[in-house]
Amino acid sequence: MVPDSQHKRLYKIWKGNNKFFFGGRCIFGPDVASLFLSVLLIAGPAITFCYQIHAKIQHRKYHEEESVYDNQLLGFPVLVATIIALLADLTFLLLTSSRDPGIIPRNSQAFDSSDGSEFNTPSFQLMAGITPHLRLPKTKEVIVNGFAIKLKYCDTCLLYRPPRASHCSVCNNCVQKFDHHCPWVGQCIGLRNYRFFLLFISTSAFLCIFIFALSFVNIFHERKNYQYFVKLILGEIISVILMLYTFLSVWFVGGLTVFHLYLIYTNQTTYENFRYHFNKTNNPFNIGVLRNIKEVFFSRIARSMINFRAWTLDEAVVNEIYTSCVGIDVICKNEKFNTEKDGRMPFPTLLHNFGYNYINENKIAINKLEGNSPDPSALANIQEKNLQGLGEKKQNCEGEDKSIAGRMVGMIEDGTAIDGVPNEGNSSSETIVPANQHANIQEI
């Protein structure tokens, strides 16, 4: 059953800067256009080298009867090896760029009900909703392998980042085991795509060395067919250009590969290496060389924490329901109040309907009884009047709750589900969740 117009796929209302393709199945960074440049820089020289090999093969066939062409280096086996290396390199590039790097779900509210901290009280949550200047502590400490690690609070995603996670300013997401944002692949490098990134740069380095070595050997073998060096250069101009290009490129991709092999050896990320400068003694994540290598290459890739194809209520509809239920004004957290100018904080709607008449009556009765013995009948009348007033307010609140519940039931069709739990009679595999519970969405 197709959800109504009030439901949308999660990737369509995602607050990050990512670009989604194929219905949310492929997720790229905001600079996905740079991916085409990377493909051109890789495929261009490789295809040119394949063209040169094909030209050499055709040339040998033409001079086969004359037996004057004995350079058998650039043949069919080299052509096949080049094509395989090129396809592997582009595959690793696409796997790195098009998958979720380990994005952490956002919180729609600044407080987690499962957190038992001293700040998680109803009164403090109410004050946080109406006074945006109140904030949780910026850091809190946890123990990892005997080391104290500070977890930073992300004001954008409204959560304490897990160990080794960081917020990417380009993609506007918190990413697990954040390494860096690579502009060449147009994606963050994190927990779920670091393995493919390392395979991509190492395959690129191999391809550069492979083309450079064969081009050099080809020029060396062809020197006896030319009397002068200038003619040799002009006759094998393709090999000369490929040698210059791959020589310059291998310093970049080769050096990057060596650097990341060192990071794997010490179990660091690029972000940690430049920010914290871990060594062998104070790195809490170093578990030994063999286990470090196993963690990167031979461990199971973690499942995505977010199902971007899940159905969710439109954010505007959820805000309308939330406002009607709690009876307070929804104030944007970015809004700031100038207390020096206004002289007061905004008065919440929740307190507008409270009656204070019985408080005044209590005060008047107490003033009358000052200096005299209290009259039990007078106090009993005051208490009875207070209880009657509270009973009337309770009935009004119950009537409002029933009308709100009716509105919410009418908004969701039969066969759908709330909070990610499908109805028993629904055979569809699609899950419908409210937009304010993105953190609970798991990929199936």
Which candidate, 98, 106, 90, 108, places its Cα nearest to that of 24?
98
The tokens for 279 are 């060594």
- Token pair 């250009």 is found at 241
Contact at 8 Å (CB) between 141 and 149? yes
Helix axes 357-368, 376-411, angle to 10 degrees: 170
- Token pair 């505007």 is found at 316
Residue 73 carries which side chain, given as an amino acid letter? Answer: L
DSSP 334-345: T----HHHHSSP
Cα distance between residue 273 and residue 286, in whole Å: 13
Which candidate, 158, 123, 105, places its Cα nearest to that of 303?
105
* Residue 119 to residues 112, 123, 328, Cα–Cα distance (Å): 10, 9, 21
Which candidate, 243, 208, 238, places its Cα nearest to that of 42?
208
**Catalytic-residue membership of 174:** no
Task: Given the residues 182, 188, 325, 332, select the one marked as catalytic.
Answer: 182
Residue 149, strand partner residues = 142
Which candidate, 264, 249, 144, places its Cα nearest to that of 203?
249
Collect all residues with Cβ–Cβ distance below 8 Å to 316 and sequence separation of at least 6.
none
Cα distance between residue 75 and residue 96, in whole Å: 32
Report H helices in 142-236.
194-222, 229-235
Collect all residues with Cβ–Cβ distance below 8 Å to 428 and sequence separation of at least 6.
1, 415, 422
The tokens for 401 are 């709750």
Q: Which residues are catalytic?
A: 182
